[in-house]
Amino acid sequence: MPSSKTPTRPSARKVYLRLLHQARPTTGEISAILAMTLLGALVTVALPWPLQFLVDHVLGNKPTAPAAGRMLGALGPLSREWLVLMLAGGSLLLHLLNGALHGMKARLEVAAGQRSANALRARLFDHYQHLSLRDHYRQPLGDQLYRINNDTYCINNLIFAGVLPMVGSALTLSAMFFVLWRLDHWLALLALAVAPFLVACARYYMGPLELESDRVCQRESEVLGLADRVLSALPIVKAFVREDDESRRFREQSGRALGARLRLTNQELWFDFVVGGITAAGTAMILAVGGRHVLRGTLTVGQLLVVIAYLASVYDPLHAISSTLGHLQSAIAGARRVLEVLHTPTEALERRDINALPRVRGHIVFEQVTFGYTPETLVLNGVSFEAPTGSAIALVGPTGAGKTTIASLLLRFYDPQLGRVFIDGVDLRTVSVASLRRQISVVLQEPILFPISLADNIRYGRPDATDEEIRAAAAAAHIDEFIRTLPAGYDTLIAEGGASLSGGERQRIALARAFLKDAPILILDEPTSALDSSTEAKILESLDRLMRGRTSLIIAHRLSTIRRADKILFLEDGRIVEHGTHRQLLAQDGSYAQLHRLYVRTLGTEGGEGEAAHSSCGIISPFSTRDRQIPIPYEAPPLPKDSL
């Protein structure tokens, strides 16, 4: 993940080793590929020899070797016509065997490469889910999607389309060189004379190819990020008639990505051209020297044909090795981006011996908590409060005061820079994140739904819930009757983000999810903001039942929500500046009372006891509340011995 410090770029060797450790391709598949590669190299070496035997011993008059003569003698007297047919059949069989081996090896490489890429993709996706929100938000969503979908193919490109083919080319090259050396030492040395030039060419192009590959990944991920941002905010784009502007931005961003891709392609083409030129020069030298050796009688025409046939087999591996070294830079760039994420510590890796939090009663304590999303800007500064078991605490204050941050710290989306957060006297940093979050239900102001069935959305917090439990939770949230009117009922698939439902219906689905989870702690982020008055009255009745016996933190704006709180905390500039019941805060005539008067004056509503009017932007009238005294500040419990 990107960080404030520029990380040291790992070498290509370290990238290979780390990637193999992360992906762990099966040794059986690799062994099978190497075995077929070796067999294929041997068959490739044998391919030109039927032609050599035909030219020198059948069409020509050169005597056969003793071993070959004994084999032919065992077949009986054979005419030249039969020998031609036998050699043609043998050549055909060798080519068919070579093609079959190549096809089986290619199929195995593709299958193994795709499986490894899918495994790496799943590992990366799982790692992203377990990153802290701080690390998650440091990286644009489009870039994350690009790494998951595109960069994970690096394992296929590096191992199965890179290293293993290079090993096969090296085996073929070794076998070819051995045969060429037996035929003509000078020709063998000339064939390898191009190798230093190919290596120098690859080293020259590797750096630019790697840098341009990084730019391509960055530019293409930016295109994906732009598309994601615009399509996610399409109602706003349409409402402000910005379609043409966003299309222009997308075309400009796509043009930059296209330019980077074309520059990379040009460099790759120039690299291939130079490599091809070097191998062509080597071929010309071999033809010149080999032709002179035939004229001098030190090499037969058939042997020259074998040498010419071997040239392609020698230079193809050399060309493949050089080209692969150059093209691997793109895969290495992707691998570095994948490993950058996989090496970022996840929430679950904070401590391997972390304790699981048992079922809690729900006594919440914040002790002098200071927190900022960046070190320079504090969102909370020395916040302390206590929420006894079963109490309801309303967090009130202007935007940016830190209300949502308190809920995030309770869920351990973040940890405070200073201070501690306790549940039942246990410091949250000493328990596993998963065991903590299983005991907290969350209902957000903007409910988050998935494009799956209504039943699966409700059971998201309890995957093992029965159909009867789901229906009971839906009935408690007053959504069961609506669901039963749908043609598919609880099996109805909803659109992305719940777009096929109204705001009130989405909120009631989220409330049903909270009912079903049955957690001892409840976080409500203005849960009735999307409901009309008639529906809200039913939901508030359900909320009373939901909050009963549970400790609730209510991020509050509307009177109808705040009236259910035992205590109100008024936050301003990251501090709790006032606390108490509604009556107490009005009597103090401080910030809370001023805000209350402003709302009443703005909406033209007089504040009276039991006033039912409410607003989505703030409190507009007084309300009755239970007078349970909560001491603030308080004496915090001692830090557990095993806390961090």
Structural domain spans, the chain: 20-345, 360-439+519-644, 451-507
Cα(286)–Cα(189) distance, integer angstroms: 10
Cα(50)–Cα(48) distance, integer angstroms: 6
Cα(219)–Cα(264) distance, integer angstroms: 12
Greater confidence (198 vs 599) lies with 198
Q: What are the tens digits of pLDDT across the range 497-506? A: 777 888 778 8
Report whether pLDDT(248) > 50: yes
Report whether pLDDT(175) > 80: no
pLDDT of residue 315: 65
Report whether pLDDT(127) > 70: yes
* Cβ-proximal residues to 102 (8 Å cutoff; 6+ apart), any chain: 40
Residue ranges of alpha helices (H) inside 10-65 are 12-23, 27-46, 49-53
Going across the sheet that includes 364-371, the strands are: 380-387, 364-371, 418-423, 426-427
Which tokens go with 467? 């159909």
The full DSSP string for 323-374 is HHHHHHHHHHHHHHHHHHHHTSPPGGGS-TTPBPPPPP---EEEEEEEE-SB
Q: Find residue 527's DSSP bridge partners.
A: none
Q: How many CA atoms lie within 13 A of 412 on its CB side?
A: 24
Say if CB 412 and CB 430 are below 8 A apart: no
Match domain 20-345 to its CATH number in 3.60.110.10, 3.40.50.300, 1.20.1560.10, 1.10.1380.10: 1.20.1560.10
Match domain 360-439+519-644 to its CATH number in 3.40.1000.10, 3.40.47.10, 3.40.50.11810, 3.40.50.300: 3.40.50.300
Q: Find residue 370's DSSP bridge partners.
A: 418
Say if CB 15 and CB 87 are below 8 A apart: no
Min mean pLDDT across 111-120, 289-298, 334-343, 578-587 is at 289-298
- Minimal CA–CA distance to 357: which of 441, 440, 426, 442? 426
In a 10 Å sphere around its CB, with 0-12 CB exposed, 13-18 middle and 19+ buried, how is residue 512 labelled?
Answer: buried
pLDDT of residue 33: 83
SS3 at position 473: helix
Look up tokens 């229906």; give the residue: 471
Q: What are the tens digits of pLDDT across the range 598-642? A: 766 765 544 333 333 333 333 332 223 333 333 333 333 343 333
State which amino acid sits at residue 109. E
pLDDT of residue 397: 85
Say if CB 427 and CB 639 are below 8 A apart: yes
Q: What are the tens digits of pLDDT across the range 556-588? A: 766 667 767 889 999 988 999 999 988 888 888
Which tokens go with 414? 């973040």
- Minimal CA–CA distance to 311: which of 335, 329, 284? 284
Output DSSP code: residue 298. Answer: S
Residue ranges of alpha helices (H) inside 418-532 are 433-437, 454-458, 467-476, 480-485, 503-517
369 backbone dihedrals φ, ψ, rounded to 5° = -85, 125
State which amino acid sits at residue 484. R
Cα(627)–Cα(586) distance, integer angstroms: 14
Q: What are the tens digits of pLDDT across the range 2-29? A: 444 445 566 767 777 777 776 566 677 7
- CA distances to 15, 139, 171, 338 from 217, rounded to whole Å, are 17, 14, 33, 12
